[in-house]
Amino acid sequence: KPILPLVIATWHVEAATAKAMEVLENGGSALDAVEKGCRVEEANEAGQSVGKGGLPDREGNVTLDACIMNKHGDCGAVVYLKDVKHAVSVARKVMEDTPHVMLAGEGAKQFALESGFKEEDLLTEASKKAWEKWKVEAKYKPIINIENHDTIGMLAVDKNGDISGACTTSGLAYKMNGRVGDSPIIGSGLFVDNEIGAAVATGLGEEVVKTVGSFLVVELMRQGKSPQEACEEAIGRIVNKPNSDYKNFQVGYIAVNKKGETGSYSIHQWFSMTKFQDGVNQQIQSDFYNK
């Protein structure tokens, strides 16, 4: 019998999983839990790959990508959102208050402001300094793990066994202006199927998009694989491509199934999952491919 409720999230985000668990313990839905949990990291200025304080693109713009998905398979997403830190909540509003799934750029911001979200400068002094330092050499090379450690993907199973998920990020640091990653793309950065389970991705988004990673993980679980086996096979699809350059980038997946079993796997060491279940909120180092 699964021990419910439970929450898992990418990287080391115990404050975020604690918030989500608080929602679940109080009888809240998995959807509320993942939204409230992700908001903790969006508001945390120290986290430089999500929300306020996120590292900007090459031209100094902080642009956010986020999505959310509920137990009915409904979803909402925002891409290239500027000046509004709670991208995950804007994504939820897109899902609940519009006939659409995804809003981008100016339109997403306009919708957010009309919905009552606060407009604020997301570029903090620390992120501005980091960007100015980067500009001296201006080399674009994703750094394994370092710039990634707090993009947050979160999955929750509530007391009723219903599953929801969310994902929110400022994307890769110093990306090209206009670049959108996997995180707001349903099926790539996140997928939830309430009959089977859910998965969420982190790392180099381009590689996740090319393999429709999160949908793949969920479909593999549908075929009978455990969450761990499914995450491993999805990473396999990336690293086993004949021309794969996997030594130079990181991708990680976490997954949960309907039984409350979880898994996580990455290409390189130092990916982790934070898991809150049965009273224990802990960071778990992920197994990885490149040993």
CA 154, 269, 37 angle in degrees (round to 5)?
A: 15
Quick one: 176 exposed, middle or buried, by C-beta within 10 A (0-12, 13-18, 19+)?
Answer: exposed
Selected from 49, 70, 194, 272, the binder of ligand SD4 by CB under 6 A is: 49
Chain positions 122 to 181 lying near ligand SD4, rule: CB under 6 A, are 148, 151, 169, 171-172, 181
Distance CA 164, CA 30 (A): 5
Smallest gap from residue 245 Cβ to ligand SD4 (A): 15
Cβ-based nearer residue to ligand SD4, 3 or 143: 143
DSSP letter for each residue of 161-190 = S-EEEEEEE--STTPPTT---STTSBTTTE
Sign of the alpha-carbon dihedral angle for 229, 181, 169, 126 = positive
Distance CA 226, CA 237 (A): 17
Smallest gap from residue 106 Cβ to ligand SD4 (A): 20
Smallest gap from residue 171 Cβ to ligand SD4 (A): 4
Sign of the alpha-carbon dihedral angle for 267, 272, 274, 279 = positive
Chain positions 187 to 226 lying near ligand SD4, rule: CB under 6 A, are 202-205
- Over the window 222 to 261, marking each residue x when it contacts ligand SD4 by CB under 6 A and - when it does not, the resulting string is ----------------------------------------
Smallest gap from residue 116 Cβ to ligand SD4 (A): 27
Binding residues for ligand SD4, total number by CB under 6 A: 13
Whose tokens are 């509004």? That residue is 84
Cβ-based nearer residue to ligand SD4, 194 or 202: 202
Enzyme catalytic residues = 151
Q: Which residues bind ligand SD4 (CB under 6 A)?
A: 49, 148, 151, 169, 171-172, 181-183, 202-205
